[in-house]
């Protein structure tokens, strides 16, 4: 049954690698929102910083696109280009932009958190969102599990989450780390969840979006 909150909305989702493979958020979250009456377009830039959406470009580990309930169309590294958020806004006329970006900017392999760099990335994107005048919600990174090829740690994930929460305005923020305890949702590489994890994350995000929609900014 369509939710009166999401029914008829055109939602544009811009994500990192968590949206770029079959069974990830482009599918799980997209399906949840569409089941409630929204129209959803998902664009993913694998391995890219959030600033890629300002001018568009070629993401390091490929791109993906899903329009409504169609298939996820994945382009390999150095083959797929993502458009700018302005181009996408002009094409799809969204009522809401959802951006999921955090893990790719956290600098897990670096000894200290790259605060100045992250702030620069965030600001370039949020300025464009402000210029477009479209409401925006930013999904922060989950806990994942420690280790793996991306060197993720709970301490750095928490630091990234807190930094985003304080800097993404005018986007409203969803703290994914409130959905589970560190390590609760298994991953296969420290960063990317198993299928069950992406389903749990999507359900939790959907509930958080509903709550935000009912709460004045």
Say if 195 falls within a structural domain. yes
Residue 60 in any domain: the answer is yes
Asked whether residue 38 is assigned to any structural domain, the reply reads yes
pLDDT value of residue 215? 87
Residues 162, 166, 170, 172, CA torsion sign: positive
pLDDT at 164: 98
Q: Identify whether 143 is part of a domain.
A: yes
Q: How far apart (Å, rounded) are the C-alpha atoms in residues 100 and 183?
A: 20
Q: CB–CB of 144/190 below 8 Å? A: yes
Judge whether 216 lies within some domain.
no
Residue 137's H or E segment, with its range, is strand 136-139
Decide if 5 is inside a domain: no
Structural domain boundaries enclosing 38: 10-211
SS3 41: strand
Residue 35: the pLDDT is 95
129 within a domain of the structure (yes/no): yes
Residues of the chain with pLDDT under 50: 1
Report pTM.
Answer: 0.96
What CATH number corresponds to the domain at position 170? 3.40.50.1110
Look at residue 41 in the predicted model and tell me its pLDDT. 98
Number of domains in the chain: 1
The pLDDT, as a whole number, for residue 151 is 97
Phi, psi of 65 (to 5 degrees): -140, 140
- Whether residue 182 lies inside any domain: the answer is yes
Tokens 């049954």 label which residue? 1
């Amino acid at each position: 049954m369509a939710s009166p909150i999401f029914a008829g909305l055109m939602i544009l989702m811009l994500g990192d690698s968590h949206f770029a493979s079959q069974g990830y958020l482009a599918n799980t979250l997209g399906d949840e929102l569409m089941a409630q009456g929204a129209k959803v377009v998902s664009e993913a830039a694998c391995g890219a910083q959030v600033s890629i959406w300002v001018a568009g470009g070629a993401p390091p580990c490929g791109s993906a696109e899903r329009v409504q309930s169609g298939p996820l169309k994945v382009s390999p590294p150095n083959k797929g280009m993502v458009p700018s958020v302005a181009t996408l806004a002009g094409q799809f006329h969204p009522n809401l932009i959802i951006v999921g970006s955090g893990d790719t900017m956290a600098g897990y392999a670096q000894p200290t958190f790259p605060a100045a760099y992250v702030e620069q990335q965030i600001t370039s994107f949020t300025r464009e969102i402000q210029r477009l005048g479209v409401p925006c919600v930013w999904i922060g990174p989950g806990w994942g599990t420690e280790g793996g090829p991306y060197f993720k740690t709970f301490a750095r994930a928490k630091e990234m989450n807190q930094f985003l929460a304080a800097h993404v305005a005018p986007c409203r923020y969803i703290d994914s780390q409130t959905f589970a305890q560190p390590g609760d949702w298994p991953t296969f590489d420290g960063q990317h969840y198993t299928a069950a994890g992406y389903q749990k994350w999507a359900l939790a995000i959907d509930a958080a979006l509903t709550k935000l929609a009912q709460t004045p900014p």
